[in-house]
Structure 1
Amino acid sequence: MKEADVEKGLLSCVHCGFCLDACPTYRETGDEADSPRGRLVLMRNVLEGKLPMVGEEATQPGGVGYHLDRCLGCRGCETACPSAVPYGHLLEHFRDLQEHTVSRSTGERVLREGLLMLLTDPKKMKLALKAGRLTGGKIPAFASKFVGLPADTQLPLPDDLEKASAALPALIRAKGEKRGKVALLTGCVMSVLYSPVHRATANLLAANGLDVHVPQNQSCCGALHGHQGKLEGAKELAKKMVAAFENTDYDAIILNSAGCGSFLKDYGHLLKDDSQWADRAAAFAAKIKDVTEYLVEIGPREMTRWITLKITYHDACHLKHGQKIGEAPRTLLKSIPGIEYVECRDADQCCGSAGVYNYLQPALAAEFQKKKVENLLATGAELILTGNPGCLAWIEQGLPDGAQAPKIQHPVELLARAYGD
């Protein structure tokens, strides 16, 4: 962001406080500096030269870096804000500034860079998960201690890694009368841990008359880079993604990962100051659609299978707050014959996963996970639905064991069943 845009964004906050109850960290700590309003004040003080971004002062409670690191980036404040403060863009800008100026400890650097390297490279991630089987998914104690993680930190190991990471065919044909053609983005984490979700997405779209193309030249979208203050890396990945989809005639480019979808839709902003890429990025972003959003837009075909099940839904932050999509998944789920839908208390409050937040701020993340799981269990639902890989893995880790405990799935898995999959 240019300095004028940063200043304009910061000054748009009128300090009304509507964001406070929407902010998980403020609700947890009660600290004004852990609220969006408080963080905006800290950012403004940095811009005006009143507070340092580096040094011991910045890393202690009350310091800019300390409270930026504790922000989930859930963007719940944006939904609550009557002044349309671009908090997410400001957070990314100041985190980028932070990463260019702050000297972190060796352990923290290893953790941050290691997570970014593994989670944005499917091949490396798959190798790491295979190695993780040797320890039952637990990170060795010496490694946890070195990078500052709790001793019981677990990797999200799937029961069947080969099934979880199975590749999709390049084309899944529409069923019945063809209504159009779309591309499906498979992403990084999703392609390793949740390939069955991709399969269900493709089958769901095909059942609704769409040819589903799965391009083989996909790359990381840059979302994790952007959220961690690596904007130059995010921009390079964005350009690569845009170039890969130019000169194609898909009706839409479909995502089933809330965090990736939100970031891809924001490519126009990310590259707006690059004259060679601004228009191209905006044109690409205009075609990005969440799978539930697109199905509601084109009108879903009638579901044919009766499913007797009590369900509830957790709003993935970057679907509800980043993309402003809350009703589409609910509308589709409630349309399944036989379904009993129960709304969850604070459904749009972050579960604590937030990209890699549960590794970078494990204590706070555990509190958010605990509250989320309590609210989900209180619904009495047999199945929990949510549309983001981080939420799926983190909430599942917090659920109780036992046959009576609810299961958790992506909405497309249940919807595909309703179409006979």
Structure 2
Amino acid sequence: MERKYEEWQQQLVKCIRCGTCRSVCPVFQVADNENTTARGKVKLLEAVSEGKLTLTTELQARMSKCLLCKACAAGCPSGVKTDELFLSARKALAAQNGLPLAKKLAFTGLTYRRLFDLGLKMGSLFQGIVFKDAPDGRGKLARIPLPGAGLGQRRIIPPLAATPLRSRLPEINKVASPKARVAFYTGCMLNYVYPDAGEAIVKILKAHDVEVIIPAKQSCCGTPAFTSGDYRVGRYLAEENVKLLAAGKYDNIITGCASCGAALKHEYGAIIEDPKVKQLWEELSKKIKDITEFVASRGIKQDLREVRAKITYHDPCHLVRGMGVSKEPRQLLQAIPGVHYAEMKDAAKCCGAGGTFSMAYYDISRTINDWKLDNAEETGATILATGCSACRMHITDGLGQRGSNMKVMHTAEIIAKAYGLD
């Protein structure tokens, strides 16, 4: 038996076929096909390990029909690490069959940091050629279908910012009497798409007398690459980020995007191969904190401005199950005077984004998103707060599709408003 199959077997043998995963899998609840469940995928990988199946493109397609929301892993009574197992399978399948050309080019582009940065800045200037404003002003619509990018003409996407976050702010953001020194890992979305949320994070940290360093040479966290099976690019980006962040003397590494945070804190452990870099990561991972986690640990400021709004909260999968952060954003929101907090049903259930999943399987992801929005709208909230840029993008699209007036904001933007920093 090949080594990778031996690694799979450590997880495969734990599965008792109980089917608990069926009750928590959002994709199964839409597709109603056993192959979409964790149990079904485990059975397929078991057949591969026994030589009954091979690593075909058909199997690759079936393994890609998964949000990687970690709900099955969190709920498995036998402790099968299905999320890690499926990532390993995607790696093997990508190595065997390759990836679509568009993905291959996009992921390779991530390794050329300066070129990637220039490309998105140019994209911001010329995005009006390919996209037009959505009627409700929430974002952009493609002028023509862009199937290679997973964009149909009805999908609303946010525009690229005119000025990225790391171009707006200096690398070193000083305070008069620093109580701590942190690095802010912005990731791609907060830098290029939602810089206002990133700026809110920096303002909050400074309000707590924290000096904020925004490393200029940080790269994409690599999540899009390694979750698609491209571990060559994913590993390169992971190791570059670890070496960069470990070189600074920081009390903490602050993240404001759930996927980036989960990658830095946990998922890099299965990607990095260089023993020296792995050792650096093991120490660095202890310092990774989501912005809400960091603020909650220090205590929200007392002299808060009133924010009159009814707010509900969506738990991003990578924040609640990836980083174990759930109570902190709620505590902070509920501490703000004027906020009427309303908990939605199934707040921790996936919104259907799943990174590139929503591009490949838009209709499935939209159905899953509609369940989320039904629950959100039942609360009567005017604002939905969350801590993941991908969730924000997908939920905003869904709200636009149904003509809802609900607004989506990063939790940090609401806190900054209460701090009088908006």
TM-score (norm 1): 0.88
Alignment of 1:308 with 2:313, yes or no, is no
> Displacement, 1:147?
6.8
CA distance in 1, matches of 2:184, 2:46: 40
SS at match of 1:161: coil
Contact 1:181 1:251 in 2 (8 A): yes
Q: Secondary structure of the equivalent of 1:289?
A: strand
Conserved 8 A contact 1:178-1:211: yes
Instruction: Please say which of residues 337-346 and 123-132 is displaced more in the overlay.
Output: 123-132
Per-residue deviation at 1:316? 0.9
Residue in 2 that maps onto 1:80: 75
1:419 maps to: 419
Residue in 2 that maps onto 1:91 = 86
- Which residue number in structure 2 is paired with residue 168 of structure 1? 169
Residues 182 and 254 in structure 1, CA contact (< 8 A), matched pair in contact too: yes
Matched residues in 2 for 1:143 and 1:32: separation? 31
Counterpart for residue 113 of structure 1: 104
Q: Is the 8 A contact 1:267 1:281 kept in 2?
A: no
In 2, the alpha carbon distance for the partners of 1:365 and 1:119 equals 25
CA distance in 2, matches of 1:339, 1:257: 23
Between stretches 252-261 and 135-144, larger displacement belongs to 135-144
Aligned residue identity for 1:185: Y
Secondary structure at the residue paired with 1:221?
Answer: coil
- Structure 1 stretches lacking a partner, 5+ long: none
**Which residue is equivalent to 1:20?**
22
Name 2:136's counterpart in structure 1.
none
Partners of 2:150 and 2:313 lie apart in 1 by 33
Deviation at 1:90, TM superposition (A): 1.2
3-state SS in 2 of match to 1:66: helix
Name which of 5, 11, 34 aligns with 2:7.
5
Residue 331 of structure 2 corresponds to 331
Alpha-carbon distance in 1 for matches of 2:193, 2:338? 29
277-286 vs 309-318, greater mean Cα deviation? 277-286
Give the stretch that moved more between structures: 408-417 or 212-221.
212-221
- How do 1:22-421 residues align onto structure 2 when only pairs under 5 Å count? 22-54=24-56, 59=58, 64-102=59-97, 109-113=100-104, 115-116=106-107, 121-134=116-129, 135-136=131-132, 137-139=140-142, 141=144, 143-144=146-147, 150-157=152-159, 161-162=162-163, 166-174=167-175, 178-266=178-266, 269-271=269-271, 273-400=273-400, 405-421=405-421
Query: Bigger shift: 338-347 or 239-248?
Result: 239-248
Cα displacement (A) at 1:206: 1.5
Q: CA deviation at 1:72?
A: 0.8
Q: Distance in 1 between matches of 2:110 and 2:393?
A: 13
Q: Report the CA distance between 1:238 and its aligned residue.
A: 1.2
The size of the alignment, in residue pairs, is 407
- Cα root mean square deviation, aligned: 2.6
Kept after mapping to 2: 8 A contact 1:174/1:211: yes
CA distance in 2: counterparts of 1:163 and 1:280, whole angstroms: 29
Inter-CA distance 245–30: structure 2 relative to 1 (3 Å threshold): same
Question: d(CA) in 1 for partners of 2:367 and 2:359?
Answer: 13
- Mean Cα deviation higher: 116-125 or 259-268: 116-125
Residue 115 (structure 1) shift = 4.8
Contact kept, 8 Å, 2:156 with 2:400, in 1: the verdict is no
CA contact (8 A) 1:271 1:277 kept: no
In 1, Cα distance between the equivalents of 2:95 and 2:277? 24
Contact preservation (8 Å) 1:351, 1:391: yes
AA of the residue aligned to 1:132: Q
Q: What is the deviation of 1:228?
A: 0.9
The structure-2 alpha-carbon separation of the partners of 1:358 and 1:272, relative to structure 1 and needing over 3 Å to count, comes to: closer
SS in 2 for 1:301: coil
- Residues 252 and 148 (structure 1 numbering): CA distance in 2 closer, same or farther, change over 3 Å? closer
Structure 2 CA distance, aligned partners of 1:89 and 1:110? 25
Deviation for aligned residue 1:84: 2.7
Could you say if the C-alpha distance between residues 148 and 199 of structure 1 is closer, same or farther in structure 2, counting changes exceeding 3 Å? closer
Preserved CA contact (<8 Å) 2:149 2:359: no
Aligned equivalents of 2:70, 2:341: Cα separation in 1 = 26
3-state SS, counterpart of residue 346 of structure 2: coil
Output the CA distance in 2 between the equivalents of 1:98 and 1:43: 11
- Which deviates the most, 327-336 or 299-308? 299-308
Q: Is the 8 A contact 1:122 1:188 kept in 2?
A: no
**Shift in CA distance, 370/403, structure 1 to aligned 2, threshold 3 Å:** closer
Distance 1:394 1:267, change over 3 A: closer
Cα distance change of structure 1 residues 275 and 403 upon mapping to structure 2, 3 Å threshold = closer
Q: What displacement does 1:22 show?
A: 1.6
Distance 1:381 1:294 in 2: 26
- Corresponding residue SS for 1:93: helix
Code of the aligned partner of 2:312:
T
Kindly state the Cα deviation for residue 2 of structure 1 after the two structures are TM-superposed: 4.9
